[in-house]
Homo-oligomer: A and B are copies of this chain.
Amino acid sequence: MDHDTEFMSRALALARRGLGLTRPNPAVGALLVKDGRVIAEGWHRRAGSEHAEVAAIEAADQPLRGATLYCTLEPCCHDGPYKRTPPCTRRIISEGIGRVVVAALDPNPAVDGRGVAALREAGIEVTVGPLAMPALQLNEAFAAAVRLRRPFVHLKAAQTLDGYIATADGDSRWITDKQARTVAHELRAAGDAVVVGAATVRRDNPLLTVRHVAGRQPLRVVLSGCRPLPADSPLFHDRFADRTLVYQPEAGRTHVDLHALLDDLLRRDVQSVLVEGGSRVLSSFLARGLWDRLSLFVAPRILGGGVRTVDGLGIASIADAIALQEVSIERLGNGVLISGYRDPRQLFGSGFRHREVVGHAEAGAVPDALMEEGYVYGNC
């Protein structure tokens, strides 16, 4: 691993400390390096507090002339009515920092390369690209908010090798093993809301709580059809009952309008949703292109019949199949977690495009630290 990637890997670890706390801002980490040694670290702790770059600068106890600054996200360059901190680029320039390494450009259209341009105009050497994709992934919900103006939609399912999420009778416990279920609960805790269909509530009687990991309880959203939901579901009676929302179809419709659903959830400050099924709900989000990421837990079992994971899309040719992008593959116990994005160019903007040009030349092998933290790229 080259030095830039090594330092950026540490900056990413710092960024992660702010995960879930910085909203509506992204989680960002930064560190300062002089003569090959880290002299200060910082991360964005919460909206309104100083940005990561400034936190690192404030933490330094020596002059920064000639130092290198590592940032997981492009430094901001804009003032504005809703902005509570001055632009970081101004501070970086005034400190005499000689070089800035940025993992990824800011997906926010208000920045989108302008921060890097401002630094370069001031004569600072700027490198963009090391660990761009992990840096962007860290803030995928932020990217959806600023670029797509809707919650980040993460589709999740656990299926057999041959693509069934349940037997014909609806039995789905347990397709995957404990290791996969733990990761599934991590995904649940990472989102602001979990969405399921009425059929799943009827069939599985799910709790939709965060159990195998520590984490926040997301909002529980049930998409109801025309039939009443089981009144004795724990979703309506447990200690999180006030965190359950039921959406019903408009008069004359049989299904909840998903665009309207996402609009309403965004108004409720939901930045990301994890759609956990069932088959019809997953297929509906897919059919409408209303999704950003799909994570599929695949168990090494053959069922040879039952409820299909996805059905009824009616795609007529392989060339028209929905192709996941930026696919990651992670072994979990005896199974595998396959995850990918619908359209990372649209979601992440210039940051992603830039990565394609610079990232490949810079990146090389995957740093071990990132592998451990679950970012798996390349051959495994």
Which chain A residues have a beta carbon within 8 Å of chain B's beta carbons?
Answer: 159-164, 166-169, 171-175, 283, 286-287, 294, 296, 298, 300-306, 308-318, 321-324, 327, 329-331, 334-336, 338, 340, 376, 378-380
Instruction: State A322–B167 Cα separation when bound (angstroms).
Output: 13
Instruction: State A173–B298 Cα separation when bound (angstroms).
Output: 23
Residue pair B321, A160 in contact (C-beta under 8 Å): yes
Instruction: State A326–B380 Cα separation when bound (angstroms).
Output: 17
Main secondary structure of the interface of A (DSSP, over half): loop
- Complex interface: chain B residues within 8 A of A302 (CB): 286, 294, 310, 313, 315, 321-322, 324
Instruction: State A294–B301 Cα separation when bound (angstroms).
Output: 11
- Complex interface: chain B residues within 8 A of A340 (CB): 300
Residue pair A303, B315 in contact (C-beta under 8 Å): yes
Instruction: State A161–B338 Cα separation when bound (angstroms).
Output: 9
Q: How far is the CB of A266 from chain B (nearest CB, A)?
A: 25
Instruction: State A308–B300 Cα separation when bound (angstroms).
Output: 16
Residue pair B163, A164 in contact (C-beta under 8 Å): yes
Residue pair B329, A331 in contact (C-beta under 8 Å): yes
Q: How far is the CB of A202 from chain B (nearest CB, A)?
A: 18
Closest to A176 in B: B318
Residue pair A171, B318 in contact (C-beta under 8 Å): yes
How many copies of this chain sit in the oligomeric assembly?
2
Residue pair B315, A300 in contact (C-beta under 8 Å): no
Q: How far is the CB of A323 from chain B (nearest CB, A)?
A: 5
Q: For A380, give its contact among B303, B305, B376 (CB under 8 Å).
A: B376
Residue pair A323, B300 in contact (C-beta under 8 Å): yes
- Complex interface: chain B residues within 8 A of A327 (CB): 300, 334-335
Instruction: State A146–B298 Cα separation when bound (angstroms).
Output: 33
Closest to A322 in B: B302
- Complex interface: chain B residues within 8 A of A161 (CB): 163, 294, 296, 324, 338
Given A329-B336, A331-B379, A380-B331, verify A315-B305 contact (CB < 8 Å): yes
Given A159-B163, A163-B308, A298-B298, verify A173-B318 contact (CB < 8 Å): yes
Q: For A318, give its contact among B162, B172, B304, B379 (CB under 8 Å).
A: B172
30 A–B contacts, CB within 8 A, in A order: A160-B321, A162-B163, A162-B308, A162-B310, A163-B164, A167-B316, A169-B317, A175-B318, A175-B321, A286-B302, A286-B304, A300-B324, A300-B327, A300-B338, A301-B321, A301-B322, A302-B315, A302-B321, A303-B315, A303-B322, A304-B312, A304-B314, A305-B310, A305-B312, A305-B314, A324-B334, A327-B334, A329-B336, A329-B380, A331-B379
